[in-house]
C-alpha cells in the first residue's frame, strides 16, 4: 500500500477508547492506544493513504460481549447484521478521513 501510495488502514477502536470507564481499565487502555497509534501513523503515511480508528458504533454480539456484558447481548446486533451496515460505510472511507476517529452507523 505504501509503495502504491493508496489504501486505507482501519484500526478497530471502541467508545471506551475515547472515554474511560471503571472496571475495564485494561480494555480502555488498549483502545486508547489504538486511537493514538492511528493519529500518529496518519502523520507518516504518504498522500493518498489513510488510517482511521473506528468505533463500531456500539456493542456487537461476540463471545467477548457474551462473557463480559451478557445484559447487552439482547440489544446488540450480530456480526452479520453489523457488517451489512458497516461494509458500505467502510468502503466510503478515503484519504480525506486520514487520522480521524470515526464511528460506524448503528446497526439495528
As a whole number of angstroms, the distance between CA 14 and CA 4 comes to 30
**Is residue 24 helix, strand or coil?**
coil
- Whether 27 is catalytic is yes
30 Cβ neighbours under 8 A, 6+ residues apart: 17
Q: Check if the beta carbon of residue 65 is closer than 8 Å to that of residue 72.
A: yes
CA distance 101 to 89: 14
Q: Which of 15, 16, 27, 89 is catalytic?
A: 27
Kindly list the catalytic residues.
27
Amino acid at each position: 500500500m505504501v509503495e502504491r501510495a493508496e489504501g486505507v488502514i482501519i484500526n478497530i477502536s471502541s467508545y471506551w477508547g475515547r472515554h474511560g470507564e471503571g472496571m475495564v481499565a485494561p480494555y480502555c487502555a488498549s483502545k486508547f492506544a489504538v486511537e493514538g497509534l492511528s493519529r500518529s501513523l496518519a502523520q507518516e503515511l504518504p498522500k493518498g493513504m489513510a488510517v482511521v480508528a473506528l468505533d463500531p458504533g456500539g456493542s456487537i454480539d461476540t463471545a467477548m460481549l457474551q462473557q463480559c456484558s451478557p445484559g447487552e447481548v439482547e440489544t446488540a446486533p450480530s456480526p452479520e447484521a453489523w457488517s451489512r451496515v458497516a461494509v458500505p460505510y467502510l468502503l466510503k472511507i478515503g484519504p480525506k478521513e486520514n487520522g480521524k476517529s470515526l464511528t460506524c452507523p448503528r446497526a439495528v
